[in-house]
Amino acid sequence: MVAGECRTLQRTLAMRKDRQKGIHEARKSCRRLRAMLPFLPPEQPTEAIDQALRAVVHGFSPQRDAHIAARTAQLLATQHRTWLTPEVIQGLENHAAQVLEETLRDDPNWQHRRVEARRIIDTLEVLPWQAIRPSVAKRTLKKTARKMKKAHEEAEAQRTPEASHHWRRRTRKLRYQLELLRKARRMAGMKKHKTKAYGDWARHLSATTDQLGWRQDFQIFLQTVEQLPNSTDVRALRRALRSKSAGWSLANPPA
């Protein structure tokens, strides 16, 4: 499974046609690899490789955020055409294209990122993945679940975008670990009822991360709108957002 995620990371960084899809898939592979690291024996030094994977994810944040803002606007426009005019949507799409183009000028075809990914993969390949044991995996899962529960409680108490995002990250990590353990147990021919329970739990968490993801996407959309050049349509959208954004952010994404 580690080798598969490493191959996906290399393949998606090499994509030249659908850059945004490549960025999205590369970030997911890095997150899955980070979720695997805690299953290794405790004495293994994994902090440096974890930070390197995190840096790859964060290095693509500006491009991903700009794309998310444009996509969110398109979803909202299906129900709010009065404020989300074609001019506004085009402005967000132009912003996303510009951010991507500027990054590609600094790192053509992700050459530097691909070199860093190769260094990360070389390190991952020599880690003792065969030393993972079910007892350690269960302890790791319980620890991740406790952290998610704590993040949930903090999000409910604070009611801030930052706390909500932290809850989403913790939930997503637990979901990834559950999915990984489900696959590993199935490959090893272990008890099916526990394997199924992990899969059911992961699916439940997926619904939570989807809802929290919409809230985060909406916050990114709000921040990006503030960066757009002033125009009549943009000013009208900002006024509408100030009065209606709370309801929009709590709603499910438009179909």
Alpha-carbon gap, residue 33 to 230, rounded angstroms: 42
Distance CA 225, CA 70 (A): 10
pLDDT one-digit tens code per residue, 154-172: 999 999 989 999 999 999 9
* pLDDT tier, 134 (very low <50, low <70, confident <90, very high otherwise): confident
- Is this model's pTM higher than 0.75 or not? yes
- For residue 89, the model assigns a pLDDT of 93
Half-sphere exposure of 165 (CA within 13 A, CB side): 8
Residue 39 has pLDDT above 90, yes or no: yes
- Report domain extents, the chain: 2-250
| Distances in whole angstroms, Cα of residue 98 to Cα of each of 48, 60, 227 | 32, 14, 13
Report the distance separating Cα 88 and Cα 10, nearest Å. Answer: 35
Question: Using 50, 70 and 90 to split pLDDT, how confident is the model at 254?
Answer: low
**Is the pLDDT at 251 greater than 70, yes or no?**
no
Q: Comparing C-alpha atoms, which of 78, 80, 67 is closest to residue 244?
A: 80
Residue 245 is predicted with a pLDDT of 65
| Residue-level pLDDT at 194 | 80
Q: Computed from CA positions of residues 38, 202, 221, 110, in that sequence, does the dihedral angle turn out positive or negative?
A: positive
2-250 — its CATH code?
1.40.20.10
